[in-house]
Chain A
């Protein structure tokens, strides 16, 4: 112990002193750490605050079978307020499924084109276009559904209302496509060029190489891209609010109007009294949305990580 003391003293003689720079460094290390974990704090905070507002409903009021299985969402009914989100889930699901049916094949095709076929300048331009498409705000997409798609659908399909699953699914598909495309393109690019070279050295054409070597190697990344697209569609609010027709329905065709979980919150939260049962029910939908997107994101990350290890 005393030996260490003398050593410390020796070090001090040799020029070891905690100068201003040392303290500044330690200070910033602390500051950066706090900021570094801020993302974690916010995610926990989101869950805590949304849960706190909805907690009373979840714990006391809720009738689980009614909440999840009843298609009747009538929070403002004077006689019998009912909180059934089945129709809302059906609305969200129908829109998302149609959107994915449109977006996934075209996005993957586009990603393959950019990553495997396009070269040089074409490729740069396409990537930039895709990036710009992803930037268009969702409220503008909603407006497009309302002002452009709506009359087009009414005219083309001879239906009374153009704000429906078809409209909303197409809009959401176009919104999700750039995201799926760019993540899928990243996944394809992550396949080492040596794979391609090896395959082409054996005489395989570009398409054979893509189909037999690149796609199997990138399949986890592509799956994650699709999942993240689903997450985006699931959580989209404004476009869905404006283009879906916003009427409570268990849809039987793509021409039915529906109502989505997210849109319900956006449309009704402004009209509820803070702390009321209706208000709490909307926060409960928020908890539901948060949980589902959390699971989707974690799964996508798990798939991507799994593919990197393999």
Chain B
């Protein structure tokens, strides 16, 4: 009896729903990815698949190439003259370099930064910006609804509903971070990438955002880059460990955190021996 109960619990993700199995459709396929800035290699030899509707954690110390990885997926190399990306990235089965309109690609991928960037416009405009720019001329009512929906899902609505017309850049750090999540959601993305979102956020807000992410993953794939190994443990179905520009190990989060690692460096990092 006891044994059975334990077994059942292990198959389940902390959020209560089943994790996408290895047969689930692939959202993002990365093959032999290498990223360089000028002559300096930031990341090399990364190959991994991210499944639809999974929360995929990426852990590792600073300068291990995590942020560069997200930038490559969003094709930010186009905006930076010194950044070069080689290897393949397939999003929804399509090579992202085949996209002629890279802006349309980026609209399908939401990004949240380590330090929240509230744009110097009203809270409402911050959230309404992406839909307005996408060229989908929404009606005023539809836009209002979308803004409310995104702010609610980012757990910010109750705090700002009475002052939607005040400046987004004047919110507190934690509120701004939720604002950027609302903004990313307003793109109605297929995939959400979060880059160390909890750095500028207090622990309570971090917990609230984590709850939000658990719900969101029903609708989208989430890549969670984090400097907190426990956060990956709490949220991610699978986790990759990046170190000094290479992907050391990828595995089921449960497995990695229960000591089933192939590389001792992963074990050391998880146990906090460096980082």
Q: A residues within 8 Å of B by Cβ?
A: 4, 7-8, 10-11, 13-22, 25
Nearest CB of B to A25, in Å: 8
- What are 17 pairs between A and B in contact, CB < 8 Å? A4-B98, A7-B98, A10-B98, A13-B94, A14-B91, A14-B92, A14-B94, A15-B104, A15-B108, A16-B94, A19-B104, A19-B135, A21-B103, A22-B100, A22-B101, A22-B104, A25-B103
Q: Are B98 and A16 interface neighbours, CB within 8 A?
A: yes
Given contacts A16-B100, A18-B101, A19-B135, 12 further A-B contacts (CB under 8 A): A7-B95, A8-B98, A11-B94, A11-B95, A11-B98, A13-B94, A15-B105, A15-B107, A16-B94, A18-B100, A21-B103, A22-B101
Partner of A16 from the list B93, B104, B133, B134 (CB cut-off 8 Å) is: B104
How far is A18 from B101 in the complex, measured between Cα atoms in Å?
A: 6
Nearest CB of A to B74, in Å: 15
Q: Are B103 and A22 interface neighbours, CB within 8 A?
A: yes
Which residues from A are CB-within-8-Å of B133? 21
Name the CB-closest residue of B to A19: B135
State which size class the interface on B falls in.
10 to 19
Name the CB-closest residue of A to B93: A10
How far is A41 from B135 in the complex, measured between Cα atoms in Å?
A: 36
* Given A14-B94, A15-B108, residue A20 in contact with residue B100 (CB < 8 A): no
Nearest CB of B to A245, in Å: 55
How far is A4 from B94 in the complex, measured between Cα atoms in Å?
A: 10
A4, A8, A11, A13: residue with the most chain B Cβ atoms closer than 10 Å: A11
Which residues from A are CB-within-8-Å of B94? 7, 10-11, 13-14, 16
Which residues from A are CB-within-8-Å of B105? 15-16
Q: Are A19 and B101 interface neighbours, CB within 8 A?
A: yes
Interface membership of B99, Cβ < 8 A? yes
Partner of B135 from the list A4, A11, A21 (CB cut-off 8 Å) is: A21
How far is A15 from B92 in the complex, measured between Cα atoms in Å?
A: 11
Partner of B104 from the list A4, A8, A13, A17 (CB cut-off 8 Å) is: A17
Nearest CB of B to A18, in Å: 5
Q: Are B99 and A11 interface neighbours, CB within 8 A?
A: yes
Nearest CB of A to B187, in Å: 12
B92, B98, B100: residue with the most chain A Cβ atoms closer than 10 Å: B98
Nearest CB of B to A61, in Å: 50
Contact with A along B92-128 (1 / 0, CB 8 A): 1111001111011101100000000000000000000
List 7 A-B pairs, minimum CB-CB distance, nearest first.
Answer: A7-B98, A11-B98, A10-B94, A16-B99, A11-B94, A22-B101, A14-B94
Q: Are B108 and A11 interface neighbours, CB within 8 A?
A: no
Nearest CB of B to A268, in Å: 50
Partner of B100 from the list A10, A11, A21, A25 (CB cut-off 8 Å) is: A11
Which residues from A are CB-within-8-Å of B98? 4, 7-8, 10-11, 16
Nearest CB of B to A167, in Å: 53
Name the CB-closest residue of A to B107: A15
Contact with A along B76-98 (1 / 0, CB 8 A): 00000000000000011111001
Q: Are B93 and A17 interface neighbours, CB within 8 A?
A: no
Which residues from B are CB-within-8-Å of A16? 94, 98-101, 104-105
How far is A10 from B105 in the complex, measured between Cα atoms in Å?
A: 13
Nearest CB of B to A13, in Å: 8
Which residues from A are CB-within-8-Å of B108? 14-15
Name the CB-closest residue of A to B95: A7
Nearest CB of B to A305, in Å: 20
* Given A8-B98, A11-B94, residue A20 in contact with residue B104 (CB < 8 A): no
How far is A21 from B102 in the complex, measured between Cα atoms in Å?
A: 12
How far is A37 from B133 in the complex, measured between Cα atoms in Å?
A: 29
How far is A218 from B98 in the complex, measured between Cα atoms in Å?
A: 51
Which residues from B are CB-within-8-Å of A7? 94-95, 98
Which residues from B are CB-within-8-Å of A10? 93-94, 98
How far is A22 from B105 in the complex, measured between Cα atoms in Å?
A: 12
How far is A279 from B94 in the complex, measured between Cα atoms in Å?
A: 68
How far is A13 from B91 in the complex, measured between Cα atoms in Å?
A: 12
How far is A191 from B32 in the complex, measured between Cα atoms in Å?
A: 45
Nearest CB of A to B18, in Å: 27
Within 8 A of A (CB), among B223-258: none
